[in-house]
Amino acid sequence: MKYLLMMHTPSGGPYQIASWPKQDIKAHIAFMVGFAKKLGASGELVSAEGLAAPDQAKRVRAGKDGKPITDGVFPESKEFLAGYWIVDVDSPERAYQIASQASAAPGPGGAPLNMAIEVREVMSGAPKDWL
Amino acid sequence: MTPSPHPSAQDLLRDLAPQVLGAVIRRFRDFAASEDAVQEALIAAATQWPRDGLPENPRAWLIQVASRRVADHVRAETARRNREAIVVSLVPPEEQLALAADEADATGRDDTLDLLFMCCHPALSPSSAIALTLRAVGGLTTFEIAKAFLVPEATMAQRISRAKQSIKASGVPFKMPEGEERAARLGAVMHVLYLIFSEGYTATSGPELHRSDLSGEALRLTRMLHRLVPDDAEVAGLLSLMLLTDARRAARTGPSGELIPLDQQDRTLWEPSAIAEGVALLTATLSRGSIGPYQVQAAIAAVHDEAASAQDADWAQILGLYGLLQRMSDNPMVTLNHAVALAMVHGPAAGLDRLDALAEDPRLQGHHRLDAVRAHLLERAGDHEGAIAHYRRAAERTTSTSERDYLLMQAARLSETRK
């Protein structure tokens, strides 16, 4: 079963990586790179991506002529998605375990950030027992 | 095992894959290295045979090419170790090769069953056992397996390589288990084949279409297993269950991939030859006495498959079979199906009573299928409001898109007739 693990970070919260000392930024990046590698090596990684900063985000709607109308920069947003992982695991418990490891990524001073990671099951095509 | 009379090169390769791997493992006693080498030999054959023609003895050709790869690997490993000056093999690689003569190669001994036991070892997680079985016994490439499970090839390669490490670490010997152990391990093999089948069977449409190859592969491997242990009634039961289920494939989804439940399927789309084969197999098995859960499930599938319509099905017999199955396995899904059969025989109220008793089961707490069955029975009892509420609740809880769509459509259909 596949799960989407989303790392939401509050604006102005602890994940203000740009303001951290260089050494802490390096440690954080190294953790994230190593974490994705570890999931690949355990045969569970489907994909992992970090997202560009929210000040580049746009909201898009189709206009009456079908052309895109963009609208954007949302400094008032309380929370933004910083990145996500999709994992393919044998149980929900394993997905929670992976999420808790991601949550403990190092922050300022190397202390674990303990960020909230939202875990959502990815829907499958058809039910397994619908024989 | 005799390949079918005019096999394509691909079929021949897939049939030979486990036999060749078995022979190479017997020579080198290294499952992981042998498995890699056989995979390389299969790839070499897939490109060379169509170009240069079939070798005189394809099996011997593959064993020879794979053995050479393992020997190269051993040589490279020894050189590496020498460089690192940690361990020097006591037996030079030339002699390791000289030890390799194995009369089994000449007799054409079939190690497929030993391999199945190894790949489905209970030390492996289900997903690892599935991947390893498809590669080592099924002869599928890592790329094909990755595509079937919708994960990147690198991830699937790691999953397979870790599975091989687990087997090595667990010290499972490459030989047939005996007595009770054998029965338990055969059960694990059947379970893995069943999981591969249902993984493919539940594939619907669009990008998942190729996943249906997995049920074809599960059927092929189960046929192979049945040939190897023709006297095992449960293996015959499993093969029969797969045939009788797969026979309905074309009827179980609509044009846009939507699920069509059994009672609404166009039965003219069912595959009569698969039904005939499944029924014949089951009949021969049941007459022999000992009966297990796969045979009972096959018997239920056979009652459905032989009925002209859902109403014509012998529901009293289905009810009896679910009762039997319930006594064999403590599975709440079986109990839910039993409640449906109960409602077909004794009316929806009897089924609903049964569901009330079931709701206490912690394994069904918040399970969407309980709501889905309740909705269906409430509708049959004429309580449309209740049915709509439970269809919707089930739709919120399922993790399958096609089942959610089906349940939402049921709720919408009832809401519209209300106006």
Q: Which residues of B touch A43 (CB under 8 A)?
A: 127-128, 131, 155-156, 158-162
Task: Give this prediction's pTM.
Answer: 0.85
In 10 A of CB A62, how many CB atoms?
A: 9
Residue A61 lies in a domain: no
Nearest to A125 among B127, B333, B402 (CB): B402
Residue B37 lies in a domain: yes
In 10 A of CB B63, how many CB atoms?
A: 24
Nearest to B126 among A46, A90, A123 (CB): A90
Instruction: Give the number of domains in chain A.
Output: 1
Residue A129 lies in a domain: no
CA neighbor of B34 nearest in space, from B107, B91, B114, B128: B114
- Percent residues over pLDDT 90 in chain B: 56
Residue B300 lies in a domain: no
Residue A131 lies in a domain: no
Whether residue A125 and residue B125 make contact (CB cut-off 8 A), yes or no, is no
Whether residue B155 and residue A45 make contact (CB cut-off 8 A), yes or no, is yes
User: Phi and psi of A22, rounded to 5°?
Assistant: -50, -45
A-B interface: how many C-beta pairs under 8 angstroms? 82
Residue B167 lies in a domain: no
**B278-294 burial string, b = 16+ CB within 10 Å, else e?**
bbebbeebbeeeebbbb
Q: Which residues of B touch A124 (CB under 8 A)?
A: 202, 399-401
Residue B54 lies in a domain: yes
Whether residue A124 and residue B211 make contact (CB cut-off 8 A), yes or no, is no
Tokens describing residue A103 = 């949550």
Residue A11 lies in a domain: yes
Residue B70 lies in a domain: yes
Residue A104 lies in a domain: yes
Residue A62 lies in a domain: no
Nearest to B158 among A40, A127, A129 (CB): A40
Q: What is the mean pLDDT of chain B?
A: 86
Give pLDDT tens digits for B222-275. 999 999 999 999 999 999 999 999 999 889 888 877 888 888 899 999 999 999
pLDDT value, residue B96: 45
Residue B76 lies in a domain: yes
Residue B100 lies in a domain: yes
Nearest to B204 among A2, A126, A129 (CB): A126
pLDDT band at B87 (very low <50, low <70, confident <90, very high): very low
Judge whether B14 and B100 are in contact, CB under 8 Å.
no
Give pLDDT tens digits for B281-332. 999 998 887 899 999 999 999 999 999 888 889 999 999 999 999 999 888 8
pLDDT value, residue B83: 64
DSSP helix/strand/coil, A60: strand
Q: Which residues of A touch B154 (CB under 8 A)?
A: 40
Instruction: Give the number of domains in chain B.
Output: 1
Residue B80 lies in a domain: yes
Q: How far is B324 from chain A (nearest CA, A)?
A: 19
pLDDT value, residue B89: 47
Chain A residue closest in CA terms to B129: A90
Give pLDDT tens digits for A7-65. 988 776 656 777 889 999 999 999 999 999 999 999 999 999 998 877 778 889 999 99
Identify the domain containing residue B80 by its residue range: 1-110
Contact with chain B for residue A97, Cβ under 8 A: no
CATH number at residue A34: 3.30.70.1060
pLDDT value, residue B57: 93
Q: If contacts are CB pairs under 8 Å, which of residues 8-27 in chain A contact chain B?
A: none
Can you tell me the mean pLDDT for B33-62?
92
Residue B88 clears pLDDT 50, i.e. is over it: no
Nearest to A130 among B127, B155, B403 (CB): B403
pLDDT value, residue B180: 87
Give pLDDT tens digits for A68-106. 988 876 666 678 898 999 999 999 999 999 999 999 999
Chain centroid to Cα B273, Å, comes to 21
